[in-house]
Amino acid sequence: MEEKTSVLLEALPYIQSFYGKVLVIKLGGALIEKEEVRKSLCRDLVLLNYVGMKPVIIHGGGGEVSREMKKEGKKPEFIEGLRVTDEETMEILHKSLGGKINKEIVLGLERNGGLALGVSGLDGNLIEAEKIREEELGFVGRVSGINPELINYLVDEDYIPVIAPIGADEDGDSLNLNADVVAAELASSLGAEKLILLTDVPGVLENPDDEDTLISELTVPEAENLIGSEKIRGGMLPKMKACINCVENGVHRAHIIDGTKSHALILELLTESGIGTMIEEA
């Protein structure tokens, strides 16, 4: 009993500190596909919401999209980590990201007593985008603007927004967007307290091949130096850049943590030690 009491007392100052604050949390596709991990994360998110925090969820889902493409006889193709997206692939993205995956998360939150609403970046003109390298990539874009009014309204009404990373350009074309970048841009626009990128790796590693070299804390200059030294590579590179960008634009701290760990969000937010890597200003 004393141990349980000490855990609650340790959490209290963090609950007080983050009460009423927006937390933008990106769920990687690899986590969503693991049913038990997804269920655990949904429980944790509802708990955070019940103690007064305001989580906003952005999700990936690349594995599911690739499987659906193969069912349609389409071979997934990537250029520098970006999925080549023609009109048929964009339709699959709408069905998988904006449909099945989004609704699985919404249902998971609501089964645990949360009030959630699934949207894509197309709803309420939430995410404005523009095409990049159209001849090579097709309907792939970068974020050009965020209109956070819809999300602010949902958060104020105690909903947990669940957002699929699809935007639209000025011609009305839907565009496939990087979920890490969307999360960072949204965190900045909402004036979030934190950006948390939940992935399936421990965090930023000094040696990318050795999980025992986890770096617990980084300032923005230190993070930029790591990128310059080419120690950050692969899928970690856009995550690190997204964290730097949002911290430079007003978000207090950004975190990259292993969402496969049991109650990862609770450990990161409500304990002194935390897990993963935290990026903050110098």
Residue 86, domain member (yes or no):
yes
Tell me how crowded residue 86 is: count the other CB atoms within 10 A of its CB. 13
- The CATH number linked to 188 is 3.40.1160.10
Question: How many structural domains are present in the chain?
Answer: 1
4 within some domain: no
- CA–CA separation, 125 vs 262, rounded Å? 36
Contacts of residue 230, defined as CB under 8 A and 6 or more positions apart, other chains included, come to: none
Domain-embedded: residue 11 = no
- For residue 257, being part of any structural domain is answered with yes
User: What is the structure's pLDDT at 21?
Assistant: 94
Model confidence, pTM = 0.91
pLDDT in tens, 117-143: 999 999 989 999 999 988 889 999 999
Give residue-wise pLDDT tens across range 64-94. Answer: 899 999 998 889 988 877 898 999 999 999 9
Q: What is the reported pLDDT for 23?
A: 96
Residue 147 lies in a domain: yes
Contact 25, 45 (CB under 8 A): yes
- What pLDDT score does 134 carry? 83
- Strand-by-strand arrangement of the 22-27 sheet: 116-120, 160-164, 54-59, 22-27, 194-199, 253-258, 277-280, 217-219
Domain that holds residue 119: 21-280
Q: Is residue 6 part of a domain?
A: no
Which pLDDT tens digit goes with each residue over 250-275? 999 999 998 888 888 888 888 776 68
Would you state the pLDDT for residue 3?
Answer: 57
Under the banding of pLDDT at 50, 70 and 90, the label for residue 102 is very high
User: Do 190 and 152 contact (CB within 8 A), yes or no?
Assistant: yes
Active site residues: 26, 29, 62, 180, 239
